[in-house]
Amino acid sequence: MKGRRDSPAVEAALVVLVPEAEPLVRDYRREYDPSAAKGMPAHITLNYPFLPGADPSETTLGTLRSLLAGVPSFPFRLTRWALFPDLLYLAPEPEDPFRDLVARFQKAFPDSPPYGGGHSEIIPHLTIAQEDDAVILEGISSDFQVGAESRLPIWSQASQVWLMDNRKGRWSRQTSFRLGG
């Protein structure tokens, strides 16, 4: 959930929280992920910035409830780490339920594309570290690998989606939406 220079002062996001990953990623995220330093727990992002979310109307909340009521809860696991050019992350398996949620939000809220429309393909992930310097990121990745090998996979259940916002200067949970089924 890397911030953008032109992003508004108050931001919102739709996420699946993954508390089971905290023991493995907490220290890395605190040091290398600005969103963690501002209170965002380990998570998989579904929509950020969620533009209607900073001050959602009852209509927006109702749309989210309806949209998610038809989506069954699903198990997933974090099985491996990988790199984007500026990001170390854990990859969830299966990816398809997360991709489906991203697509549902994109269809329901076309003015709020994931990551501001900056990516042609959305790859579900749990951010461990963000670093622009590739050499430093590779070092973080090597260090992470040593401790992670024996602790993966991490099993979890996506049973709700959280609307988070940072209106108080820190990320906080605003509303949760139970997945149906």
Per the omega criterion (within 30 degrees of 0), is the bond before 49 cis? yes
Q: What is the per-residue pLDDT across 106-163, written as a single tens digit (0 to 9) for each?
A: 999 999 998 887 878 889 999 999 999 999 999 999 999 998 989 999 999 999 999 9
β-pair partners for 163: 14, 175
Tell me if 24 sits within 8 A of 147, measured CB to CB.
yes
Tell me if 70 sits within 8 A of 122, measured CB to CB.
no
Q: Could you tell me the pTM of the whole model?
A: 0.91
Domain ranges of the chain: 12-178
> CA-based angle 117:96:17, to the nearest 5?
75
Q: What is the per-residue pLDDT across 40-87, written as a single tens digit (0 to 9) for each?
A: 999 999 999 998 877 899 999 999 999 999 899 999 999 999 999 999
CATH superfamily, with its number, for domain 12-178: Cyclic phosphodiesterase (3.90.1140.10)
Cα–Cα distances in Å, from 66 out to 70, 83, 104, 108, 176? 7, 35, 11, 11, 13
